[in-house]
Amino acid sequence: MEDCREQVYSDEYYDFIVPYGVNMELMLPESCVQRVSEEFDIYYFHRSLVPPLQLSGYAYMGLPKCYGLLDTLALEASGILRLQDQPVLSLRGNGVLVGFIDTGIDYTNRLFRFSDGSTRIAAIWDQSVREGTPPSGIFYGAEYREEEINRALADENPYGVVPSRDDNGHGTFLAGVACGSEDPENHFIGAAPGSRLAVVKLKEAKQYLRDFFFVPKGVPTFQETDIMMGVSYLDRLAHDLNMPLVICIALGNSIGSHGKNGPLSMYLNQICGRRRRAIVTAAGNEANARHHYEGRITAIGEYEDVEINVQQDMQGFFVELWAEAPELFAVSVISPTGEQLPRVSVGFQSSAMLDFVFEGTTVTVDYRLETREGANQLIFFRFIHPRQGVWIIRVFPDVVVKGQYNLWMPMRQLTDGEVYFLRSSPDITLTSPGTTRQVITVGGYQISNDSIYTDSGRGYTVAGEVKPDFAAPAVDIYGPGLRNNYVTFTGTSAAAAITAGAVAQIMQWALVDGRNPMLSNAGIKNLLIRGTRRVQTRSYPNREWGYGALDVYRAFEVLRNV
């Protein structure tokens, strides 16, 4: 157990997501294996025993991606207060477990306690704590259950008993907005103040992944493997407690095909299909980042230049080009001084390293056909020490049907410097896992003028599926900060938290009070969509609002009239 715990934290070990049933222990018998689900395992390999980290040596899906936080009079607008106060329904999330996978929680805050001072938190799994007892079946972090948290709250030094802190404040804010108890003195109440809470505090991503993806120093970043384990933990905890569960995930990245992209999305779809489970995700804040390019080439022999403006010399950045099968494209790269290196030939897993003499820049180009996603084409670029100026990716078609392709850069806060496409598109800027088909994906709007939050990620998915599902308040949202004060946040994280509370209200009505015991994640999503507020001057669904604005009270009105 201790050896495996060290492998989870040590930067000397690479982490890989492996489909269950692929026995890699025969190749590296000393590696530890962490079970996520019946679909996936996580393997840990010492870096001295495997090839250096580069896409040419590994499966794209097996490499954990880095995720960042989605932030830069909400409950009344969303119909939540009316359901809390409605004398017959009185829906406050009673009997529902609301799970958060984030930066942790300030468990000492009065908003997360009952009136007698005892905790409303059923459990905390702090992945960053290396000492302590991990959850059953997991070999890292430390778990603190309700009894231990109550002992800490009764102690003069609570952190001596439960040393789990939220040093960032993001997780505490989301938990408060979704589930905080009423604080009349400060005019605050959460969306589901009667619910129980479960918290996963994510550990920071390993340095080798931060280096590979050029994540700036000091930016909170979390890896896909730990998020997947967080989902697995919450699912098992809810099973042990025999409670319905809604999970709020307010993390994201711009990596992947923006369709059925990756192990995390596949796993979330699986959880959404289980009884008494629901997942809410944020749409992200990338609409104005200029990090998406939408291209189309209609004939063989033509080409298209994708211009990337690098504002200053930087450590590096990466770009992904995705094309749906059977389209195939080849590329070359042109530097700001006009140096053009030869076109890289298309291959199933071909790679090239391009060195630009005058810029002192290296660009690696890797071709992949991602067979688990329908043999779609991925071209992965890493620009290492790019110089300031306009870089060009020249795209050539090899096989043309519709001729469409897309390029994405990582989210703004995960980019080492100012870099963007000169001819960008604000559409298809949802962050993952918000593109996951089954989850409830929430965009953001501003209550004061009923306008879309301009940074809110826009749909649809590459496959044309409607995302976001709807929008919720996201601008200047009032909630708890650290040190028992109150702050305002802006971003679709807040919209996801408000929606998670609304889902807890529906779960209480349907599953706890027994009004509709078979209601599923899909049923909850459709109920909320039917109740959305729409204005006559907009057509729905659309890329910004999805099907409209969240109004959970109206959803019950629609249900009454069915």
For position 376, what pLDDT does the model report? 87
The residues spanned by each domain of the chain are: 2-50, 81-287+432-516, 292-421
Q: Secondary structure of 66-94 in the HEC alphabet?
A: EEEECCCCHHHHCCHHHHHHCCCCCCCCC
Looking at the DSSP bridge assignments, the partners of residue 295 are 405
Overall pTM > 0.85: yes
The helix (run of H) or strand (run of E) holding residue 487 is strand 486-489
Class of domain 292-421 as given by CATH: mainly beta
Query: In this structure, what token pair is assigned to residue 441?
Result: 């994906």
What distance in Å separates the CA atoms of residue 10 and residue 130, rounded to the nearest whole number? 11
Indicate if the pLDDT at residue 73 is higher than 60: no
Of residues 5 and 342, the one with the higher pLDDT is 5
Q: Using CA atoms, how far apart are residues 159 and 6, in angstroms rounded to an integer?
A: 24
Nearest residue to 487 via CA among 209, 170, 275: 170
| Phi, psi values for residue 61, rounded to 5° | -70, -25
Average pLDDT of every residue of the chain: 92
Residue 465 CB neighbours (<10 A) = 14
Q: Kindly report, residue by residue over 255-270, the tens digit of the pLDDT.
A: 888 876 689 999 999 9
What is the spatial distance between Cα 524 and Cα 506, in angstroms, rounded to a whole number? Answer: 7
The confidence band for 558, taking pLDDT boundaries of 50, 70 and 90, is confident
For residue range 25-43, list pLDDT tens digits in order.
Answer: 555 667 899 999 888 999 9
Q: How far apart are CA 355 and CA 343, in angstroms?
A: 13
> Can you give the pLDDT at residue 348?
65
pLDDT value of position 14: 92
pLDDT tens for each residue of 503-539: 999 999 999 999 999 999 999 999 999 999 999 999 9
Q: Are strands 351-356 and 361-370 parallel, antiparallel or unpaired?
A: antiparallel
Class of domain 81-287+432-516: alpha beta
3-state helix/strand/coil string of 144-213: EEHHHHHHHHHCCCHHHHCCCCCCCCHHHHHHHHHHCCCEHHHCECCCCCCCEEEEEECCCCCHHHHHHC
Q: Which of 80-89, 232-241, 305-314 has the lowest mean pLDDT?
A: 80-89
Per-residue pLDDT of 188-233, as tens digits, reads: 999 999 999 999 999 999 999 999 999 999 999 999 999 999 999 9
